[in-house]
Homo-oligomer: A and B are copies of this chain.
């Protein structure tokens, strides 16, 4: 058996963030993008990229950005699995609000015990999606992506959509969405896109009509629904 050396909290975080920034298209991730997301200076990022590259967890060529190797992606997915299972636990068992779980889950995701996470999965009855609507990888690392999910910002005028995810982990966004009455499962009708700033005139069905900025709309995942 290949010796499973333990990664530091920090190394795990890098892999997770690289996975997230690379997206499903597995784009190369730049040093600066990582620096932004991890709140560290680019020079610090370079240090770590070298280390992760030596450990064959990422592919990295100077000035060319980085991407996960298979080995690195397997680990990243396990971290994300842990993060999302813990978020689910916090919301469904401890009745946290969905907007307040991120920071705690960020700590819990680094607890090292495969048994713990499998037991937790079982305790939660093998949930497929977390409270933000993001898919929870199973223990083998398989991720069930929702079909036809797009960003609200990209929705066609007059479309009726259902909110299935919120991409950003900023508590202030989540709080805002809560305030305007927009949550997972909400239905939204799109009326108009204002050319000047690409803001959207929408109706949160059963709640209110209002305008939302492109930035917010860009962080809301939705899917089309047939009938209202």
Report how many copies the assembly holds.
2
A51 CB-CB contact with B under 8 Å: no
8 A-B pairs whose Cβ atoms sit less than 8 Å apart in the complex: A90-B116, A94-B120, A95-B119, A96-B115, A96-B119, A100-B115, A104-B113, A108-B111
Closest 6 CB pairs of A and B: A94-B119, A104-B113, A107-B111, A104-B116, A94-B123, A108-B111
A116: which B residues are within 8 A, CB to CB?
A: 90, 94, 104
A69 CB-CB contact with B under 8 Å: no
A111: which B residues are within 8 A, CB to CB?
A: 104, 107-108
A227 CB-CB contact with B under 8 Å: no
A119: which B residues are within 8 A, CB to CB?
A: 94-96
Interface residues of A (CB under 8 A from B): 90, 93-96, 100, 103-104, 107-108, 111-113, 115-116, 119-120, 122-123
Minimal Cβ-Cβ distance residue in B for A100: B115
Complexed CA–CA distance, A93 and B121 (Å): 12
A123: which B residues are within 8 A, CB to CB?
A: 93-94
Complexed CA–CA distance, A59 and B110 (Å): 33
Tell me whether A112 and B120 are in contact (CB under 8 A): no
Tell me whether B112 and A107 are in contact (CB under 8 A): yes
Complexed CA–CA distance, A100 and B115 (Å): 10
Taking A94-B123, A96-B115 as known contacts, 18 extra A-B pairs with beta carbons closer than 8 A to each other, sorted by chain A number, are A90-B116, A93-B123, A94-B116, A94-B119, A94-B120, A94-B122, A95-B119, A96-B119, A100-B115, A103-B113, A104-B111, A104-B113, A104-B116, A107-B111, A107-B112, A107-B113, A108-B108, A108-B111
